[in-house]
Amino acid sequence: MSFNIRLGVANDGENHWDKRKELVFKTIKNFGPDLLGLQEVWHMQEEYLKNKLSDYAYYGRSRRTKPREGEQCAVMFRKDRFEMVKGRTFWLSETPDVVESKSWDSSLPRIANWTLLRDKKNNQSEVFFINTHFDHKGKESRKQAALLLKRRIQELKEGVQVIITGDFNAKESSEPYQGLVSDKILDTYRTAHKNPTEEESTLSGWNGRTSGNRIDWVLCSRNYRVLSAKIDRTEFNGRYPSDHYPVTARLRPQK
Number of domains in the chain: 1
pLDDT for the residue numbered 34: 98
State yes or no: pLDDT of 51 exceeds 90. Answer: yes
The answer to whether 225 and 3 are in contact (CB under 8 A) is: no
Write out the residue range of the structural domain in which residue 213 sits. 2-253
How does residue 39 score in pLDDT terms, banded at 50, 70 and 90?
A: very high
H or E element in which residue 70 lies:
none
Closest CA to 243 of 2, 15, 11, 8: 15
Helices (H) and strands (E) in the chain, counts: 5, 12
Closest CA to 170 of 133, 207, 197: 133
Helix, strand, coil shares of the chain as percentages rounded to 5? 20, 35, 45
CA dihedral of 211, 1, 5, 91, whole degrees rounded to 10: -110
How much of the chain, in percent, has pLDDT values that exceed 70? 100
The mean pLDDT value for 198-202 works out to 97
The answer to whether 243 and 199 are in contact (CB under 8 A) is: no
How much of the chain, in percent, has pLDDT values that exceed 90? 94
CATH code, 249: 3.60.10.10
How does residue 159 score in pLDDT terms, banded at 50, 70 and 90?
A: confident
State yes or no: pLDDT of 9 exceeds 90. Answer: yes
pLDDT for the residue numbered 68: 84
- Angle, CA 83 vertex, CA 22 and CA 153 arms, to 5°: 95
State yes or no: pLDDT of 147 exceeds 90. Answer: yes
Centroid of chain to Cα 13: 25
pLDDT for the residue numbered 158: 86
The answer to whether 49 and 25 are in contact (CB under 8 A) is: yes
